[in-house]
Amino acid sequence: MGSSHRQAVILGYDAVCALGTRFPDAWEKALRGDSGIGPLTRFPMDDNFPVRIAGEVESIDDLDYPFLNPRERAKWTSPIFKHAMLTTSRAIERSGIEITPDIAPRTAITYSSALGGLDAALEADRRLVKENRLPKPFTNPNACINMVGGKVSILTGATGPITATISACATGSTSMIIGAMFIEQGLCDVAICGAVDFALVPAIIAGFATMNGTFYPKPGETVPPQAASRPFSRNRRGFVVSEGAGAVILAAREFAQSWGLTYQVAVAGWGMTSDAHHVVAPHLPTVTRCMELSLAHAGIDPQAVSSINAHATSTQVGDKVEYDALCAVFGKNIPPVTANKSMMGHAMGASSVIETIFAVQGMIDGKIPPTINYDPDPDMAFDCVADNARSLDQAYVLKNAFGFGGCNTCIVLEKC
């Protein structure tokens, strides 16, 4: 990014995912190649329900959620609010920022969700249809996607620009890009960015199964849950639905310097494209162009990229298109690639920001977590970091995220 631009640096971040509710623990598990995928327990199901596994966040109701006293927790029943508040508060604490009345007008919120509080809406429908009872008063606020950022704003006091931009599986990346845009354009000095999703409701999981998107065992087949998510593998058979949240605190570089705040990674560039092609299947030309735009905006050549944090959902067509796009951009010199969904599943809109946080931590520590369950596909020859974590100094990392409906985002992270 040129020196004339206001560059966004990353001051703080936090995530909850299937690997753990405390990010340092989740990071250590990722480096070990542990899996957070296990039996689906969020709701009762009969023998005909097609999906039996998921990436669940442990102890979902046992955590001490900052900002939410018992009365508040009774109102905000959807897990998305608990996770959003938890990740935001921890990220702010890590950033060193105190959102004072002076800073609040220059603090933006770009925290969103792909699915929102569907669990609250479905519960209201159940009360109406099966019990002939009206919904609870906070049903609609729990279901509304924009209320996630709204609640973050209320509880932090931030009064700058606010938006909830939904781009399916790329929602978390989009939130970061919009926050970086606000900073670059001088609309704010600080941006609280992130995404959260709780997709573990029967209708959503079953819907993905009928689309042949999510993994489910064939008749008579027994597959350990930990072995189900297989990005880039010859035997990949779809993603594992999971849940989670991630928050990233961005700030203008000069703001961080003037306040004596430390940072080690910056947002160097980004790209966004729409496939205009298919409801689900990604489109190679526009996916490729998205990667190219991100590198151009960062002002770097492809050979400057040290590693790639892939979108890699484990679908046949999705992984192959991403690989073909990497070949188009990097030729025969594709940097090392890792796919975090192999361990934590697909947390919908939250996945891209959670994975960005893993990429940031990897840059700081000089580590790349492995892609587990990797069985090389002969049609995709590249350096997939598998089996064990790899030590590598990473100057630039490319983070890919491609959402349903052709919502493509790529972010280039730069080590400062």
Helix axes 351-365, 23-32, angle to 10 degrees: 80
How far apart, in whole angstroms, are the C-alpha atoms of residue 193 and residue 165? Answer: 11
> Please, is 70 exposed, middle or buried when counting C-beta atoms within 10 Å of its C-beta (0-12, 13-18, 19+)?
exposed
Catalytic residue of the set 83, 283, 297, 346: 346
Helices (H), 185-309: 202-210, 253-258, 284-298
Catalytic residue of the set 169, 193, 384, 407: 169
Which is it for the CA torsion 31, 378, 293, 88, positive or negative?
A: negative
How far apart, in whole angstroms, are the C-alpha atoms of residue 182 and residue 166? Answer: 17
Cα distances from 181 to residues 65, 209, 250, in angstroms, run: 30, 36, 11
Q: Is 346 in the active site?
A: yes
Place of tokens 């890590």: 94
Contact, 109 vs 192, CB < 8 A?
Answer: yes
Catalytic residue of the set 83, 283, 297, 311: 311
Comparing CA positions, the residue from 245, 264, 263, 250 lying closest to residue 353 is 245
The catalytic site residues sit at 169, 311, 346
